A and B are shown apart, each in its own frame.
Chain A
């Protein structure tokens, strides 16, 4: 029963989402945007129900917070895509960012969650807001609520929603088949190797738990603690077991992964950022030149006017 109901419910969710998004997109006639939001919310509910049916055991489901953050992310995303005012779109995107960083915390990626908020909400969206302010004509006095037609009228809302959500239906159908066939991951990663890289942390933890005294220290070879027979070797040659529950934190693991296993990533990222900076400077310089030319032209016409008078 579930095998039949679950995909059908998922397709119903996709169809409701498509109808809702198509109705919520800005267009001439106001009034159906709210209805579109409600239809899209119904689609979200149908999708959640389909996901419930996919789990044989309710203990395998993600936590309640997943659904809260998912609703926030998709709702704010829908409002961002459909809002006629660009500033509000950018602000709703910040809400999406915060919801997805909540999801990152649920996925035990604490560092990326904070990096996401700092980089996106703190830097990228601020840049967007500045550009929106720069690239908007001042409203005229008689019409302060003026909206541009290119903001209030979406291009082909029905067809693009239909095509987009057909893609979503195909993707979800494949995802359920594929996720079920993935091999079950085997236990935790190589946390001992990372702990060996941090003799100071191991030593502090051993001292704190009272396993070793103040004068004893962890033996190191080239700055790496020696791990043998499930324990760590001390300076006097004896071996004590690693403290129970001592795990490298997400930041430590990510740092070792980034710097030890993918050092090239940092180099490439640095080159990309440098190129973007140079490109932005080049584009901005061209703008200054144009402004100088315009200023010169204005000065010339002003001088002519003064000369005529």
Chain B
């Protein structure tokens, strides 16, 4: 029963829903890893890296669904996700550099008064 297969169904052939579940579980695990990192780490840069990990997980789920339904809209949307990730990285890192220049520290707790 535990015999491993070396290749899964080729592109135009439909993919089994169990295979889809594998990819979705992996995507959920990656997302949760990014979430835990975002909550626990106190370095601003690592917090943003963790959001990138969550983007990654969402992209993987989109591509897996796109493959399952043989519909390329999912891949088109991943291009959009990449765009948003790039924009987010540019803006967030510019802000991080500004914040670092102010307090000479990357600790998120330095800016605890921003929570309002």
Q: Give chain A's interface residues, CB within 8 Å of chain B.
A: 17, 21, 25, 47, 51-52, 54-55, 58-66, 70, 73-74, 77-78, 80-82, 86, 89-90, 93, 96-97, 100, 103-104, 106-109, 111-112, 115-116, 119-120, 123-124, 127-128, 131-132, 134-137, 148, 150-151, 153-157, 160-161, 163-165, 167-168, 171-172, 175-176, 179-180, 182, 184-189, 191, 247, 250, 253-254, 257-258, 261-262, 265, 268-269, 272-273, 275-277, 279-280, 283-284, 286-287, 290
Contact = CB atoms under 8 A, between A and B. Distances in A.
A62 B39 CA distance: 32
Contact of B93 (A21, A127, A151, A273): A127
11 contacts: A47-B25, A80-B37, A93-B49, A111-B75, A119-B85, A120-B85, A160-B36, A265-B76, A265-B80, A276-B86, A280-B91
Given A55-B18, A188-B70, A257 B75 contact: yes
A176 B23 CA distance: 11
B115 interface: no
A176 B21 contact: yes
Given A124-B86, A134-B97, 20 more contacts: A21-B33, A25-B40, A47-B29, A51-B22, A52-B2, A58-B4, A89-B49, A104-B63, A112-B63, A150-B107, A161-B40, A167-B35, A180-B17, A187-B14, A191-B12, A257-B75, A262-B73, A262-B76, A265-B77, A276-B91
Given A81-B34, A97-B56, A290-B101, A164 B39 contact: yes
A81 B49 CA distance: 9
Contacts of A284: 94
Contact of A93 (B53, B69, B104): B53
Closest CB pairs A-B (n = 6) = A276-B87, A81-B37, A188-B12, A150-B107, A60-B16, A135-B100
A160 B14 contact: no
A77 B73 contact: no
B94 A283 contact: yes
B64 A74 contact: no
B42 A151 contact: yes
Given A103-B23, A272-B84, A189 B70 contact: yes
Nearest to B71: A189
B89 A128 contact: yes
Nearest to B45: A86
A161 to B, nearest CB: 6
A63 B5 CA distance: 5
Interface of B: 1-8, 10-26, 28-30, 32-37, 39-43, 45-46, 48-50, 52-53, 56, 59-60, 63-64, 66-73, 75-80, 82-91, 93-98, 100-101, 104-109
Contacts of B42: 150-151, 153-155
Contacts of A116: 59, 82
Contact of A63 (B7, B21, B46, B71): B7
A64 B98 contact: no
A150 B5 contact: no
A64 B79 CA distance: 27
Contact of B36 (A21, A120, A257): A21
Given A86-B46, A109-B75, A167-B35, A73 B21 contact: no
Given A109-B75, A112-B63, A167 B32 contact: yes
A168 B98 contact: no
B68 to A, nearest CB: 6
